[in-house]
Structure 1
Amino acid sequence: MKKFRTLKTTIVAALCLVAFLGTSYASDKPIKIGVLLPFSGVQAIVGETIFKAMEIAFEDANYQAGGRKLILVKEDTEMNPKMGLTKARKLVERDQVDILSGLVSSAVAYAIRDYVVAQKIPLVIANAGAQGLTREKASKYIFRTAFANGQYVGPLGPYSANKMGLKEMAVFCPDYAAGHEKASVFTERYTKAGGTVTETVFTKLGIEDFGPYMTKLKKADGVFAFYSGGDAIKFVKQYNDYGLKSKMPLVADGSVVDEVFIDSLGDAAIGIISSMHYSATLDNPENKKFVSKFRAKDGRMPNGFARQGYTTGAAIIHALNAIKGKIEDKEAFLEALKNAEFNDPAGKFRFDKKTQNIIFDVYIRKVEKVDGQLVNTIIDVVKDQADVWTSK
């Protein structure tokens, strides 16, 4: 009997030692965060902007959370769905990342969605705005710190009709998913506020000459437009060159007057009203520090993409701290991420508990020249905007 008790005590002690060593190993093991972004091609500037801002969030935390080291492992999606899925598999199966993040293209996000859910890997989307990702295709493993297409555009509808007095407007958008979703949301909110859309024009991506559309534009009180990058620059300049700016005020998605290229627009941009979930001119402590650090790292003023990158990193770090770094307990991490609340450069951060899509304040902005520099000056704020789908 004595030998049996001794053997039993030895086994229990051994099991406790194994458990202790396992716990110790887990607590010492670095937490890996995979970052899927375009680092080549025409959208490389977006990927680099998001990643640099993410780095700032991790630098602020000294690349630690919950007492554990944090490692970023980045891969280039090339804005290609098949490549995106291949890179996601590599990060999960070969690099053994604990969390996935990033994604600019909604097509890439959709391509990896089922894989992420099957592997039970938390995914924090830093840009891809396709509405379905946090609606019909929502999952407890998917979060979005950026926006759902139309989320920050929606408030421009009633603002245009009621505060600007624009009773008839035309809509210009590129002919792809985001263009259609944003046009739909603006139209819905604008007409609900009493406005009338006179015509909706969808143009191909990369169009060089908007002239054929602008010369046939019906008379209206104003125009709403969503374009980005080179298309935005061409649209704004040609809208001014055709003499439309003085006749029909331009109201736009914030990407039309993005801080990255706003200087390239010249005086053609002055007076454009836009909406966005961020402005580099926001006067709060978090934003002042963020602007200073981003300019030191990148040389430019931060834009909405930068804010999204920083917030993605900050949300992950916040959740890891809440669970004391125990990422092995995925359910605890998912719950901590869902309930994360903190102040980021754009204001108070939190997720919609139903969709796990971000809730944010929308800033109505006007392009002005301040001390010789074009800036998006905030002229109004629409508080606490969730995805319009959730607020119906």
Structure 2
Amino acid sequence: MTIQRRTILKGALASTAAVAMPNLVRAQAAPFRIGLLTVKTGPLAQGGIQMEQGLATFLKEKNSTLGGRKVELITADTGGNPAGARTKAQEVVERDKVDIILGPLAAFELLAITDYVRQKQIPLISVAAAEDVTQRNVNPWIIRPTATSGQCSHVMADYAAKEMKLKRMATISEDFAFGHEQVGAFLRVFEENGGKIVKKLWPPLNAPDFTPFIAQIGQVDGVFTGFAGSNPLKFLRAYSDLGLKGQIPITGGWTALDDALLKSFGDEAVGAISATYYTADHGTESNKRFVAAMAKDYDVIAGAYSAGMYIAGQCIEAAIAKLDGKTDDKTAVMAALKAVSLTDTPRGPISFDQNGNVVGEVFIRRCERQGGKLVNKTIKTYEKVSQFWTYDPAEFVKQPVYSRDYPPAKNLQ
């Protein structure tokens, strides 16, 4: 009887192990699932497609394995609107069970999903530049390795005032959150350095023609543009057609003269100055690989949207490696992401501030024609640029978020 009981017990344990071990193996081998929220239709689609290309380039380089974990990518088209962003965020989290969200593209999309991300406690790495998710209303489930709306605009304003010696400028950008925040940041720094913004123009995102707005620019010695997606092309062509190219210098934020757009531009872009967190001529080893792979696989020049997603992949890889591949604890994943500090990315060294926003280099470039091709040539690099610029963070967040009317424009004519 004793032998029989032992035999039965041994058989039962073996049976339990046979059931448990496959489950354990499956859990250990489960892919790390990334949900990419991007835009494939409408005026912002060009940037959205670049986002997908940049992430695909990184995953191909890594054989879809990050920190020892296989990666599965689920891509969702938000349509470039808040409702679409909310719907797709819910789908990738609740239906597809992703471990992390990358994206979305537009500031108004990020604002539409930030409460949902907080509620679901799902890590998100953002390209969208909505300021307040890393400033006054910090979302602890978000990091941003690209830039806030104003981060590059602060730099552009500093350069316009101090190096270009501009005094009277007009601003023109789409009438939405990203444009408002870019212009607000530019206005603040430019006027604090002695300049005056004498005209602010707000075309709608889907404006068919920028000519009526350009005609209102008036007597200025420079223009700041915050256009995104395909709108920079339409704007500069209209600007040139009206005979203003070469007369009034054009400056812009990181979307205004993105490297990925250069194949579509003509001479209307030559001489334009932009400030950006990524430039294709940067000399890091990872950027050399990235630029070459984007050219080979997609026949495009690498730009900031695609670089942002490549860097997001680097951040995920570093976090998974730090956690030895164990990503079930989402709080631990977020802590690992915020602690990421990388020396070799396509944009140079990066780290994150206490709110999850990147601290890194910002580049001033001039668009030139070299060997028959348009290129953005870096002419100055600002190092360790924070979302708070040179301001004290505690004092910065006491002020309202940059908007259509803040800071107030005191010199409009």
Select between 246-255 and 190-199 the one with higher mean Cα deviation: 246-255
Distance 1:215 1:121, change over 3 A: closer
Question: Residue 344 of structure 1: SS of its match in structure 2?
Answer: coil
TM-score by length of 1: 0.90
Distance 1:320 1:213, change over 3 A: same
- Structure 1 distance, partners of 2:328, 2:215, is 60
Map 1:216-295 → 2, pairs under 5 A: 216-295=216-295
- Structure 2 distance, partners of 1:234, 1:86, is 31
Select between 252-261 and 291-300 the one with higher mean Cα deviation: 252-261
Match of 2:97? 96
Distance 1:44 1:199, change over 3 A: closer
Distance 1:160 1:240, change over 3 A: same
Map 1:332-351 → 2, pairs under 5 A: 332-342=332-342, 343-351=344-352
CA contact (8 A) 2:363 2:382 kept: yes
Question: Residue 367 of structure 2: SS of its match in structure 1?
Answer: strand
- Structure 2 distance, partners of 1:84, 1:229, is 17
C-alpha displacement of 1:235 = 1.7
- Structure 1 distance, partners of 2:212, 2:55, is 41
- Root-mean-square deviation (CA), in Å? 2.4
Match of 1:3? none
- Structure 2 distance, partners of 1:171, 1:42, is 20
CA contact (8 A) 2:108 2:178 kept: no
Aligned length: 380
Match of 1:193? 193
TM-score by length of 2: 0.85
Match of 2:170? 170
C-alpha displacement of 1:228 = 2.5
Match of 2:155? 155
Write out per-residue CA displacement over residues 298-341 of structure 1, whole angstroms, 9 at most, x where no aligned residue.
11111111111101111111111110110012222111111111
Select between 156-165 and 64-73 the one with higher mean Cα deviation: 64-73
C-alpha displacement of 1:90 = 2.2
Structure 1, gaps ≥5 residues long: 1-5
Match of 1:202? 202
- Structure 2 distance, partners of 1:380, 1:293, is 26
- Structure 1 distance, partners of 2:169, 2:154, is 15
Structure 2, gaps ≥5 residues long: 1-5, 397-413
Question: Residue 90 of structure 1: SS of its match in structure 2?
Answer: helix
CA contact (8 A) 2:43 2:229 kept: no
Question: Residue 89 of structure 2: SS of its match in structure 1?
Answer: helix
CA contact (8 A) 1:154 1:189 kept: yes
Distance 1:230 1:63, change over 3 A: closer
C-alpha displacement of 1:345 = 0.7
Distance 1:215 1:82, change over 3 A: closer
Letter in 2 for 1:261: L
- Structure 2 distance, partners of 1:86, 1:209, is 31
C-alpha displacement of 1:251 = 1.3
- Structure 2 distance, partners of 1:212, 1:90, is 41
- The percent of aligned pairs where both chains have the same amino acid is 32
CA contact (8 A) 1:263 1:374 kept: yes
Relative to its length, the structure with more strand (as a share) is 1
C-alpha displacement of 1:86 = 2.4
Write out per-residue CA displacement over residues 329-368 of structure 1, whole angstroms, 9 at most, x where no aligned residue.
222211111111122111012211x210112211000011
- Structure 1 distance, partners of 2:360, 2:61, is 22
Map 1:46-65 → 2, pairs under 5 A: 46-65=47-66
Question: Residue 219 of structure 1: SS of its match in structure 2?
Answer: coil
